[in-house]
Structure 1
């Protein structure tokens, strides 16, 4: 692709143009919030080094955070439909800022456990509201591109946060908590000022509930598929570093090869989102899951840093293919007055899979690294096959 092509107005418009100002306010807030999200990636180091906890105690505290995160998807999904998208997102971010400060000042184990649980509930509460906002603001044919751009903002912000968080952790953890709180507050206030309420009118907010979501057999089937895919995908960030260190590599080696993931997403994903978003969503997602599965399975036979990098490149390509598609599918399945709840169940599927991932992955790793990666690859291929099976039903609902 030439620089002349990249500079053409039509090319740029197809990638980032044509979306309303309210979406870009949401996008900007998401980026700012993600840049400041330094506490979560370094919380294990903080608990063990700054608070003197054992690995076991730190693990329990982080598990409590995970339970809070699981609950947040259901609670926030209900609030997004009941009170509105804007108030749920803003309230969640303001509560996150307050809890961040409280956690930074907590010294006793009970206080840390309590604030970590609250933080788990508040930190991810924005997701169902954000997903519902996009579904409300963006027409169906552009939703995959919009969700893909939010995915890109998350990855760009995360890359900055990882570098900045490491520096601030050395300078003093207080900086890390303060900046994380400030960016959460900025996100919430930006949405409150620049994003209108898009949810159903007050008279419509009482109709339906989570029972309606779970009666939707197509949504339930899709959620099960998401659990499978997230169990597989999360291995890259849970058991892959363990497998590499067991094989004689260092944490620096893992950091280098996982950086390939972020770099490729930031460089490539915005260039492909509009084209992929206009293809059949079920088929595109199945292809992406299959590529991720093959890339993860390839880890079973690599033994060099270059080999690990190749496997990361492959499953990252699959991740780029899937970017934005899942959110677009959920938006197409959800009636407008239940978009928050549908997004909450979708978020619950991701969080549940991420919590199951280390339990399954570490057990398989103890048995055999080869068994681990072949099994995980097979799990994602099963998810891809499941998508192809429900593909006709997805197409009918979309139509």
Structure 2
């Protein structure tokens, strides 16, 4: 009988071990990039306070940014498959850095509009390339955990970047543009130096998105993602408006409650990503969306900071449950040589939701807060049902 001691893997190793070194280079670059993401959350304030634009003009400029963003991931998906993951990601980040500085130094309305459109066009180019890289580098069994860890890094960096950005905006807005640009350059260089090109040889002449659009399962999943994004989009559009204008919370009270979202993700996500990654993706995603929908529906009854914090905690749990699944599903559905296009179509759903969420949410809030939040709860449930219906087809892939 052997006396050898079998060492159990440590908790840390079980959560972060087993993933290839290039993945961690991608993760580190993503973290640095999100640490420097300071301009977009404060764009409205910058346009009105620093550049003196009216609210209407600022809204027009933000709409132009959204138009560019709609095209961004579709174009990037094609580039990812044609010129490569590494070149697309690094090139997109360098272009974003250039446009950040161009916007920061633009003083006339035509220059600001042009800079915002081009920034919207390049700012999300890295996303399809990043999604395809993870699919190329990581085994199918580990992909949900890998995408979950990327989600965690994004939220960790964003929480710190938002805090620093708020302080730097008071010192001078131009600092935000420089830090955002420099973080993009660091991301680009890190990926170019430490991540190999993984684009496989194409077996099909895809001709744009032809093959993707003929994949009914992928189209169904994109619709599910659109519903998911319409619900989550309210956190950045109508939730702050409803809480401050209807419930009469102060911005400070709202910000304090919203901080719970980032804290829960940073603390809980790495603890559960491995376990969630071993569950059936369709059923897990459906559970997460049902929980998220319940959290938003309960927002109809919020009358205090504590009540808001409770609902935020509920829908954040749903967000954590779903975090690593979309990327893993897209990777499973896509042929290797079309992963960029598939990721681009999935990302397009989020870009479209960024345009539709404020329009839809604003119209519903005009009718009444309960109409808005009950509708969002219903959309979350609809997304969950849609995912369950897609489950058998996804499992066959």
After TM superposition, is the score higher than 0.5? yes
User: 2:320 — aligned with what?
Assistant: 320
Paired with 1:295 and 1:226, the residues of 2 have a C-alpha distance of 18
Deviations 1:154-200 (A, max 9, x none): 00010011111011111111111111100000000100000000011
TM-score by length of 1: 0.96
Paired with 1:31 and 1:318, the residues of 2 have a C-alpha distance of 23
Shift of 1:228: 0.9
Aligned residue for 2:211, secondary structure, equals helix
Does 1:226 pair with 2:225? yes
Q: Does the CA contact (< 8 Å) of 1:37 and 1:180 recur in 2?
A: yes
Q: Does the CA contact (< 8 Å) of 1:289 and 1:381 recur in 2?
A: yes
Range that drifts further, 299-308 or 184-193: 299-308
Does 1:211 pair with 2:186? no
User: 2:266 — aligned with what?
Assistant: 266
Q: Does the CA contact (< 8 Å) of 1:73 and 1:128 recur in 2?
A: yes
Deviations 1:114-152 (A, max 9, x none): 011111111110000000000000000000000000000
Deviations 1:213-240 (A, max 9, x none): 0100000001011111111111122101
User: 1:87 — aligned with what?
Assistant: 87
Paired with 1:69 and 1:350, the residues of 2 have a C-alpha distance of 10
User: 1:135 — aligned with what?
Assistant: 135
Aligned residue for 2:236, secondary structure, equals helix
Q: Does the CA contact (< 8 Å) of 2:249 and 2:304 recur in 1?
A: no
Paired with 2:204 and 2:179, the residues of 1 have a C-alpha distance of 36
Aligned residue for 1:234, secondary structure, equals helix
Does 1:174 pair with 2:190? no
Deviations 1:63-95 (A, max 9, x none): 111111110111000000000000000000011
Aligned counterparts, 1:374-389, within 5 A: 374-389=374-389
Paired with 2:89 and 2:385, the residues of 1 have a C-alpha distance of 35
Does 1:183 pair with 2:183? yes
Q: Does the CA contact (< 8 Å) of 1:86 and 1:191 recur in 2?
A: yes
Paired with 2:243 and 2:32, the residues of 1 have a C-alpha distance of 32
Deviations 1:317-361 (A, max 9, x none): 000000111110000000000000000000001111222111111
Q: Does the CA contact (< 8 Å) of 2:66 and 2:354 recur in 1?
A: no
Range that drifts further, 11-20 or 214-223: 11-20
Gaps of 5+ in 1: 1-7
Paired with 1:103 and 1:325, the residues of 2 have a C-alpha distance of 35
Aligned counterparts, 1:1-399, within 5 A: 9-201=9-201, 204=203, 206-207=205-206, 209-246=208-245, 247-397=247-397
Aligned residue for 1:151, secondary structure, equals helix
Paired with 2:216 and 2:136, the residues of 1 have a C-alpha distance of 23
User: 2:5 — aligned with what?
Assistant: none
Q: Does the CA contact (< 8 Å) of 1:207 and 1:337 recur in 2?
A: no
Paired with 1:304 and 1:115, the residues of 2 have a C-alpha distance of 40
Paired with 1:272 and 1:183, the residues of 2 have a C-alpha distance of 29
Paired with 2:208 and 2:108, the residues of 1 have a C-alpha distance of 39
Q: Does the CA contact (< 8 Å) of 1:76 and 1:125 recur in 2?
A: yes
Paired with 1:351 and 1:17, the residues of 2 have a C-alpha distance of 33
User: 2:3 — aligned with what?
Assistant: none
* Runs of 4+ that moved beyond 3 A: 203-209
CA RMSD of aligned residues (A): 1.2
Shift of 1:396: 0.7
Q: How many residues align structurally?
A: 390
Gaps of 5+ in 2: 1-7
Paired with 1:263 and 1:333, the residues of 2 have a C-alpha distance of 32
Deviations 1:284-324 (A, max 9, x none): 00000000000000001121111110000000000000011
Paired with 1:18 and 1:390, the residues of 2 have a C-alpha distance of 30
Paired with 1:271 and 1:125, the residues of 2 have a C-alpha distance of 30
Q: Does the CA contact (< 8 Å) of 1:99 and 1:119 recur in 2?
A: yes
User: 1:3 — aligned with what?
Assistant: none
Aligned residue for 1:370, secondary structure, equals helix
